[in-house]
């Protein structure tokens, strides 16, 4: 080719420079490979990586407090947590309106449960208070309706509040609802507040807008004819209590201004009630500064609280601190999980090494038959093997029966092999043993038997030949098998759950408990994140030592 083109780049058959042509071919090849990979990659990312990532996010997410009680958490910002007094009236007032909305939407119990993880008793505090909030509102509703009977009627209210120009308030209240109950509050409310009434009665307008949005969009009712809820009357009472409002009402010319003037004329008949006292009546605990400390600590949208919890710490007013001794369980559980996984890995090495050695050194035909004995448990359902161990290990089980029959164990004190760490270690060693044997075998298979013979012919004893020549070459297999077994053991759930009792369970059992029983999902996610970090670290090691591509499955 270079005969014809003495200068310039080398050309391909179609006349383009060879370099370009090759680059194009390479690019096409890359694209084709990626196109083949893309569907699966997308599938794995969407159905696996994203769920894991969302779990990680959940371990720090804490929006429920500020979403359910937006006004109260804001008002609480200025409260000094180190003071021994409960916050002032403004906070209680905000709490009332927040909690009223939450109670109507039945969200207050969720918040109570959330805060209960941090401080016991909060759950019942929120549940009982939420049930009785109506009564607080009725303290105002009854006298207001006595003074101005027209306000008994929903249509009066609608006429009084309606007008033009109040869309901004309605939208801001709608946003608050959407925060609390995501995505439920779209659509037309059928109400436009008037600018004048918002100016005149700001709390009432906000409370009425809250009610109207909930009534129209959640319950699907027509707001123009329905009575507002009790919180609106309480808000009206609060608005009228302000000095400036009385004067403004007297000058007000909007619809039903005379009803409002009736109220301002009879202000002395309205209750002189503070929300602080009202809440104290509902439950003494509202005056407990610790409750408020908890709420204040957990009002930010993101928290390290779950992670601190997962390592037996908690957030105090002065930052992270260790939990009291009797509440510490997770560190112990993590240590136990690691320790038991180590024990299991070690027993797998001890039991797996001779088997792999025999398999690698026997003639092919015999080794294949014996291999089936290794693969049979490997292919047998995990639950079958776990139930087998339950049958064997229980107090009336096969092992105890045989020992009693042979007279080695007294019938009255049979060995306790199950529902403790012993049971978990025995059963899991059996279950994970194939995962040790198979990588060990594939490594040992590559060690030429002539090396051992050479060592012996040079005068080494059997032991020296094994220890100085064979063993070092089988170490990669031990490494691969150990990390595989350890990774599998550390996240095991089923077997410890069935044969582990209370002393033999792993951190994964605790995660499952928090997911399905205690419903403390944030803590479950935090525990899972820590476990995942440990596993990924080991995985990285595995990759460095063995390489992911070299993972072999038996057979």
Which one of the spans 146-154, 160-168, 427-435, 473-481 is the region binding another protein (CB under 8 A)? 427-435
Give the Cβ contact number of residue 447 at 10 Å. Answer: 19
CA atoms within 13 Å, Cβ hemisphere of 13: 0
The verdict on 442 binding another protein (CB under 8 A) reads: no
CB of 313 to another protein, least distance (A): 22
Locate all alpha helices (DSSP H) within 182-329, ordered by sequence. 195-200, 202-213, 230-241, 243-251, 257-265, 275-282, 289-297, 305-310
Q: How far is CA 402 from CA 385, 499, 507, in A?
A: 20, 20, 34
CB of 339 to another protein, least distance (A): 17
Binding residues for another protein, rule CB under 8 A, total 96
Which one of the spans 124-132, 202-210, 320-328, 523-531 is the region binding another protein (CB under 8 A)? 523-531
Q: Cβ neighbours of residue 53 under 8 Å, at least 6 residues apart?
A: none
CB of 474 to another protein, least distance (A): 16
Which one of the spans 103-111, 195-203, 301-309, 369-377 is the region binding another protein (CB under 8 A)? 369-377
99 contacts 108 by C-beta, under 8 angstroms: yes
223 contacts 189 by C-beta, under 8 angstroms: yes
Which one of the spans 28-36, 152-160, 165-173, 224-232 is the region binding another protein (CB under 8 A)? 28-36
Contacting another protein (CB under 8 A), which of 111, 511, 523, 546? 511
The verdict on 274 binding another protein (CB under 8 A) reads: no
Which one of the spans 2-10, 83-91, 288-296, 399-407 is the region binding another protein (CB under 8 A)? 399-407
Of the two residues 297 and 490, which places its CB atom closer to another protein in the complex? 490
The verdict on 363 binding another protein (CB under 8 A) reads: no
Of the two residues 209 and 437, which places its CB atom closer to another protein in the complex? 437
Contacting another protein (CB under 8 A), which of 462, 464, 467, 472? 462
Contacting another protein (CB under 8 A), which of 33, 175, 320, 329? 33
184 contacts 154 by C-beta, under 8 angstroms: no
State the helix-helix crossing angle for 330-361 and 471-490, rounded to 10 degrees: 140
Q: Cβ neighbours of residue 446 under 8 Å, at least 6 residues apart?
A: none
Contacting another protein (CB under 8 A), which of 398, 454, 458, 475? 398
Q: Among 530, 432, 423, 546, which residue's Cα sits nearest to residue 489?
A: 432
426 contacts 398 by C-beta, under 8 angstroms: no
Start-to-end C-alpha separation, the chain: 51
The verdict on 501 binding another protein (CB under 8 A) reads: no
The verdict on 226 binding another protein (CB under 8 A) reads: no
Contacting another protein (CB under 8 A), which of 120, 381, 413, 517? 381
Contacting another protein (CB under 8 A), which of 8, 324, 407, 459? 407
C-alpha span between 222 and 232 (Å, rounded)? 17
The verdict on 244 binding another protein (CB under 8 A) reads: no
Question: What does the block give as tokens for 251?
Answer: 């000058």
Identify the bridge partners of residue 162 per DSSP, sorted by sequence position: 193
Question: What does the block give as tokens for 449?
Answer: 């038997």
C-alpha span between 434 and 555 (Å, rounded)? 12
The verdict on 292 binding another protein (CB under 8 A) reads: no
What stretch of H or E contains 256? Answer: none
The verdict on 497 binding another protein (CB under 8 A) reads: yes
Question: What does the block give as tokens for 245?
Answer: 């409002």
Q: Cβ neighbours of residue 136 under 8 Å, at least 6 residues apart?
A: 96, 230, 234, 273, 275, 278, 282
Which one of the spans 30-38, 114-122, 239-247, 264-272 is the region binding another protein (CB under 8 A)? 30-38
The verdict on 336 binding another protein (CB under 8 A) reads: no
Contacting another protein (CB under 8 A), which of 247, 373, 454, 458? 373
Give the Cβ contact number of residue 520 at 10 Å. Answer: 19
Query: Using CB under 8 A, which residues numbered 53 to 112 contact another protein?
Result: 53-55, 58
The verdict on 383 binding another protein (CB under 8 A) reads: yes
Of the two residues 138 and 513, which places its CB atom closer to another protein in the complex? 513
The verdict on 22 binding another protein (CB under 8 A) reads: no
CB of 12 to another protein, least distance (A): 18
Of the two residues 204 and 422, which places its CB atom closer to another protein in the complex? 422
């Amino acid at each position: 080719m270079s005969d014809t083109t003495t200068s310039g780049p080398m050309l391909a058959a179609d006349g383009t420079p060879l370099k370009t042509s090759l680059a194009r071919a390479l690019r096409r090849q890359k694209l084709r490979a990626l196109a083949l990979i893309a569907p699966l990659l997308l599938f794995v990312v969407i159905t696996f990586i994203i769920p894991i990532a969302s779990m990680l996010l959940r371990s720090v997410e804490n929006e429920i407090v500020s979403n359910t009680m937006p006004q109260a958490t804001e008002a609480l910002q200025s409260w000094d947590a180190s003071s021994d007094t409960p916050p002032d009236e403004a906070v209680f007032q905000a709490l009332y309106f927040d909690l009223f909305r939450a109670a109507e939407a039945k969200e207050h119990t969720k918040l109570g449960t959330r805060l209960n993880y941090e401080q016991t008793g909060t759950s019942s505090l929120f549940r009982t208070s939420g049930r009785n909030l109506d009564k607080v509102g009725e303290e105002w509703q009854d006298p207001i309706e006595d003074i101005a009977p027209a306000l008994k009627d929903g249509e009066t209210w609608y006429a009084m509040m309606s007008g033009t120009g109040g869309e901004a308030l309605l939208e801001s209240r709608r946003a608050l609802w959407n925060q609390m109950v995501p995505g439920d509050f779209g659509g037309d409310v059928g109400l436009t507040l008037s600018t004048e009434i918002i100016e005149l009665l700001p709390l009432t307008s906000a409370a009425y807008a809250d009610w109207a949005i909930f009534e129209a969009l959640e319950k699907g009712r027509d707001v123009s004819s329905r009575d507002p809820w009790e919180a609106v009357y309480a808000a009206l009472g609060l608005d009228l209590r302000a000095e400036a409002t009385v004067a403004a009402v007297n000058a007000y010319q909007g619809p039903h201004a005379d009803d409002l003037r009736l109220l301002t004329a009879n202000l002395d008949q309205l209750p002189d009630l503070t929300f602080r006292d009202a809440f104290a009546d509902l439950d003494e605990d509202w005056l407990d500064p610790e409750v408020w400390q908890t709420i204040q600590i957990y009002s930010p949208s993101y928290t390290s609280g779950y992670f601190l919890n997962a390592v037996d710490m908690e957030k105090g007013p002065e930052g992270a601190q260790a939990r009291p001794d009797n509440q510490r369980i997770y560190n112990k559980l993590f240590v136990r999980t690691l320790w038991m996984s180590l024990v299991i890995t070690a027993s797998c090495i001890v039991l797996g090494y001779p088997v792999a050695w025999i398999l690698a050194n026997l003639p092919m035909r015999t080794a294949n038959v014996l291999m089936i004995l290794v693969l049979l448990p490997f292919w047998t359902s995990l639950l079958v093997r776990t139930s087998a161990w339950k049958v064997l290990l229980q107090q009336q089980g096969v092992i105890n029966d045989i020992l009693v029959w042979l007279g080695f164990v007294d019938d009255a004190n049979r060995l306790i092999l199950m529902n403790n760490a012993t049971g978990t270690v025995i059963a899991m060693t059996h279950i994970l043993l194939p995962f040790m044997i198979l990588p060990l075998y594939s490594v040992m298979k590559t060690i030429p038997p002539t090396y051992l013979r050479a060592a012996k012919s040079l005068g080494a004893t059997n032991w020296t030949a094994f220890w100085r020549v064979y063993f070092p070459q089988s170490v990669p297999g031990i490494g691969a098998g150990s990390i595989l077994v350890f990774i599998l053991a550390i996240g095991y759930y089923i077997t410890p759950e069935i044969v582990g009792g209370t002393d033999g369970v792993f951190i994964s059992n605790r995660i499952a408990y928090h997911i399905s029983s205690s419903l403390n999902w944030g803590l479950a996610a935090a525990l899972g994140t820590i476990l995942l970090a440990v596993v990924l670290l080991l995985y990285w090691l595995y990759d460095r030592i063995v390489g992911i591509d070299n993972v072999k499955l038996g057979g």
